[in-house]
Amino acid sequence: MKTVVLPAGAVARWRAAVAAQEGPSRTLLQLPLDPADVLGAVAGSPVAADLEAALGPAPWCNLSQSWLRRGRPPHAWHQDGALRHDFLADAGRTPPRGALLALRTLWIALTPCGVDAPSLAWVTQPTPDLLPVAELEDAAVQRRHGSAALAHAVLAPGEALLFDGALLHRTHLLPTMRSERLSLELRFFRADALAARVAGDACRRLLAA
C-alpha cells in the first residue's frame, strides 16, 4: 500500500461533478468526468512513476472497470485481480496459479474517509494467489490472518492508495459511520500484455505529463 496525493483542485472539481450521481457505483464512462482530465492529474502526480515501475510505460487505464464508489452497501473481502475469473469452474478446488490479473488499483478519496465515513480495510500479510470463494468469508479471513493483520485507511480528499491485484481487501464500515464517502477507483494494466479477460474493455493510456 502506498499513500499518494493528487492535486486538490482536480479532486474538488471531480467531487463537485459527481456529487449528484445516484446509486452506489458507476463506471468512469458513466460519469460527467473527462477521463483525460482524470488521467492527466494522475500522470502529473508522484504515483505515475510507481505505476510505470510496476506495469511498464504508458499503462492502460481500464475505463470500464474504474468506478465511483460510496461505501454503501459495503463490499466483502475480495482481490481485484480476480476480475472476471470463473469461480464456478473452480468449485471444490484451488484456483490455478496465475489466475490473478496483473494490475494496479489507484483508490482515490474524494471526501474524508476512515473516521466518520467508510474507507478501505485490507490484510497486511501477502496473499499472492487467487483465493477460493470459501476463503473470502469473514470468518475464514479472521481465522487465517487474525485481527492483528488487518489495517484500514484514514484519508483526506486527494489522498490515494495504490495496491496490486493480489491484495485482500474490503470496505471498512462501522455502525458509527454516518457520513457519506465518495471515492474513485482507477484500474491500470500493462500496455504490452493486456489480459484476455479485459481486452475488450474501453481503455486509455496513461501518458507522461
* Mean pLDDT within 72-82: 96
pLDDT value at 140 more than 90? yes
Rounded Cα gap, residues 136 and 74, in angstroms = 14
* Mean pLDDT within 41-68: 96
Confidence of residue 198 (pLDDT cuts 50, 70, 90): very high
The pLDDT assigned to 89 comes to 76
* Mean pLDDT within 18-33: 92
**pTM to 2 decimal places:** 0.95
Q: What is the pLDDT of residues 148-173, one digit of tens each?
A: 899 999 999 999 999 999 999 999 99
Q: What's the number of CA atoms in the CB half-sphere (13 Å) around residue 126?
A: 2
Confidence of residue 101 (pLDDT cuts 50, 70, 90): very high
pLDDT value at 1 more than 80? no
* Mean pLDDT within 76-87: 94
Q: Does domain 2-83+98-191+200-205 bear CATH number 2.60.120.620?
A: yes
Confidence of residue 88 (pLDDT cuts 50, 70, 90): confident
In the chain the first and final C-alpha atoms are separated, in Å, by 24
pLDDT value at 2 more than 90? no
User: For 23, left (φ over 0), alpha (ψ -120 to 50), or beta?
Assistant: left
Tell me what the pLDDT averaged over the chain comes to: 93
Residue whose grid cell is 452497501: 73
The pLDDT assigned to 98 comes to 83
Q: Which of 89-98, 106-115, 186-195 has the lowest mean pLDDT?
A: 89-98
**What are the structural domain ranges in the chain?**
2-83+98-191+200-205
Q: What's the number of CA atoms in the CB half-sphere (13 Å) around residue 149?
A: 14
